[in-house]
Amino acid sequence: MTSEHFDVLVIGAGLSGIGAAYHLQTLCPTRTYAILEGRDAMGGTWDLFRYPGIRSDSDMYTLGYRFRPWRDPKAIADGPSIKAYIEETAAEYGIDRKIRFGHRVTRAEWSSADARWTVDAEAGPDRAPVRFTCNFLYKCTGYYDYASGYTPEWPGTERFGGRLVHPQHWPTELDYSGKRVVVIGSGATAVTLVPAMAEKAAHVTMLQRSPTYIASLPSQDTLADSLRGLLPAGLAYAAARWKNVLRSLFFYNLARGLPGLMKWLLRKGVQLELGPEYAVDTHFAPRYNPWDERLCIVPDGDLFRAIRAGRASVVTDHIESFTEQGLQLRSGARLDADVIVAATGLNLKLLSGIGLVVDGTPVTLSRAMAYKGMMYSDIPNLASAFGYTNASWTLKCDLTAEYVCRLLNHMEQHGYVQCTPRQRDPDVKAEPALNFISGYVQRALPSLPSQGSRMPWRVYQNYVFDLMTMRLGRVADEAMEFRAAAGGPHPR
């Protein structure tokens, strides 16, 4: 099979893939690159999810790229606006011309003898096999399975006479006007769907097994708006970005350091929204500590407004079974519904299930250790964009892209063709890659690489720390093994 060669192949044209491309062409202008995108559109998450109300729950000053100001007054933005921002960025920098749409990567094999990856993909509706080679593989495929979301097995679903839908596969023709809707779940998707569907539905019930911490934030950032009037766009954006980075770091550290205080603040916030009579402890007081799972944000308290108006309500109970009319709950109560939405989450999937082979040996990712949260032990010339769990995804992906470019430039300067993180320190202990107790994380942990107990193997969920180490720290550290074209490991 003939193959086309690039210095770097980026897989995925979502938020991180477009950001990676910008950094590559700006910081490594002599390198050739292409983006292989499995779908027929760019935007990833922001193109795939089409459910009512789809929006970010991070502010766009930190979810947007560092290099391209977010100019919309809405700090918490809807899905179509984020998709448009990604598309406009790609068009502005000519990145759109580098994307091969409809190219789903299935396998990549590294050869140390050739110092290159051979990348197999399926192209177009016929899934025709195509082959590429590259010196460096940059995986920007997100973190979940695009094929299907997570739906638990409930007894009796086949009996249900209404519609059962999953937000990842929203049926565009679904008309829920005047219908009774039950949204199962209490995560970011559920709290987005409930107020959005309540605008047209007869009533929306959010059915949760257990509560989630929910905080209301203004959808518009008044300080950022004022700064835009006073400063040039780039400067105003940088100031708003830093303000929000520091704010989220402050609240995250407060939650970890003084969980009792943070619990009290969050409970108080909900009580103020819903009034003293509302059963806050039943529906909004989780058993776990804040940030053991991702904190949910509701812009301008929209969820609480829908509850106050009687258009939405929360039920905390367990599903016994589906019935013809709706749901039978463990408490004995019944919930009748015309539409049930399973906002039960995603299937976490790293590397998008791409089969990796290194010098003839298939890679078992769960045996690898993450290096600086962006590469993996014993896997050469491969980086992966994986964002923060406690802050905006793009903050980390921007830093990773800069670091990859520094690494590529270092290799070029020294004539290296291979870089491989090697974990040889006996004092480094393996730990779970993610410290969330959320179901989707726990289900996936056995298949994920580990992180180490200290640098450079530890994944720091801290932008300021990462900024210092990834922008200013040494690329040629003790864990990175470089190899020059002609021979074995190059002495550093």
Ligand X SMILES: Cc1cc2nc3c(=O)[nH]c(=O)nc-3n(C[C@H](O)[C@H](O)[C@H](O)COP(=O)(O)OP(=O)(O)OC[C@H]3O[C@@H](n4cnc5c(N)ncnc54)[C@H](O)[C@@H]3O)c2cc1C
Where does this chain bind ligand X (CB under 6 A)? 11-17, 36-39, 44-45, 49, 56-58, 63, 104-105, 140-142, 146, 189, 352, 354, 385, 387, 392-393
Q: Which is nearer to ligand X, 64 or 269 (CB)?
A: 64
| DSSP characters over 448-470 | S-BEESSTTS-----HHHHIIII
Nearest to 366 by CA among 382, 351, 347: 351
Supply the minimum distance, in Å, between the C-beta of residue 107 and ligand X.
Answer: 10
d(CA 225, CA 231): 10
Supply the minimum distance, in Å, between the C-beta of residue 391 and ligand X.
Answer: 7
Q: Which is nearer to ligand X, 322 or 463 (CB)?
A: 463
Tokens at residue 132, please?
A: 């590429």
Q: Which is nearer to ligand X, 141 or 451 (CB)?
A: 141
- b/e map of 392-420 (b: 16 or more CB within 10 Å)? bbbbbbbbbbbbbbbbbebbeeeebbbbb
Supply the minimum distance, in Å, between the C-beta of residue 162 and ligand X.
Answer: 24
Supply the minimum distance, in Å, between the C-beta of residue 476 and ligand X.
Answer: 27
Q: Which is nearer to ligand X, 56 or 377 (CB)?
A: 56
Q: At which residue do the structure tokens 């939650």 appear?
A: 255
Supply the minimum distance, in Å, between the C-beta of residue 90 and ligand X.
Answer: 12
Supply the minimum distance, in Å, between the C-beta of residue 302 and ligand X.
Answer: 15
Nearest to 19 by CA among 104, 92, 71: 92
Alpha-carbon separation of residue 446 from 350, 399, 431, 450 (angstroms): 12, 27, 11, 9
Q: Which is nearer to ligand X, 306 or 385 (CB)?
A: 385
Q: Which is nearer to ligand X, 166 or 180 (CB)?
A: 166
Supply the minimum distance, in Å, between the C-beta of residue 231 and ligand X.
Answer: 25
Q: Which is nearer to ligand X, 354 or 383 (CB)?
A: 354
Supply the minimum distance, in Å, between the C-beta of residue 228 and ligand X.
Answer: 21
Q: Which is nearer to ligand X, 140 or 270 (CB)?
A: 140
d(CA 125, CA 457): 40
Q: Which is nearer to ligand X, 39 or 410 (CB)?
A: 39
Supply the minimum distance, in Å, between the C-beta of residue 358 and ligand X.
Answer: 18
Which residues have a Cβ under 8 Å from the Cβ of 88 and sit 6 or more positions away? none
Contact criterion met (CB below 8 Å) for 41 and 47: yes
Q: Decide the pairing of beta strands 480-484 and 416-421.
A: antiparallel
Supply the minimum distance, in Å, between the C-beta of residue 334 and ligand X.
Answer: 30
Contact criterion met (CB below 8 Å) for 222 and 304: no
Q: Decide the pairing of beta strands 312-316 and 203-208.
A: parallel
For the CA atoms of 290, 296, 302, 303, what is the dihedral angle to 10 degrees? Answer: -80
Supply the minimum distance, in Å, between the C-beta of residue 36 and ligand X.
Answer: 5
Supply the minimum distance, in Å, between the C-beta of residue 99 and ligand X.
Answer: 10
Nearest to 254 by CA among 359, 416, 390, 88: 390
**111 burial via Cβ count (<10 Å: 0-12, 13-18, 19+):** middle
Q: Which is nearer to ligand X, 12 or 380 (CB)?
A: 12
Q: Which is nearer to ligand X, 51 or 482 (CB)?
A: 51
Residue 227, classed as helix, strand or coil, is helix
Contact criterion met (CB below 8 Å) for 459 and 430: no
Which residues have a Cβ under 8 Å from the Cβ of 264 and sit 6 or more positions away? none
Q: Which is nearer to ligand X, 6 or 49 (CB)?
A: 49
Q: Which is nearer to ligand X, 89 or 352 (CB)?
A: 352
Contact criterion met (CB below 8 Å) for 357 and 378: no
d(CA 64, CA 199): 29
Supply the minimum distance, in Å, between the C-beta of residue 127 and ligand X.
Answer: 12
Nearest to 396 by CA among 140, 41, 49: 140
Which residues have a Cβ under 8 Å from the Cβ of 112 and sit 6 or more positions away? 359, 380, 418, 483
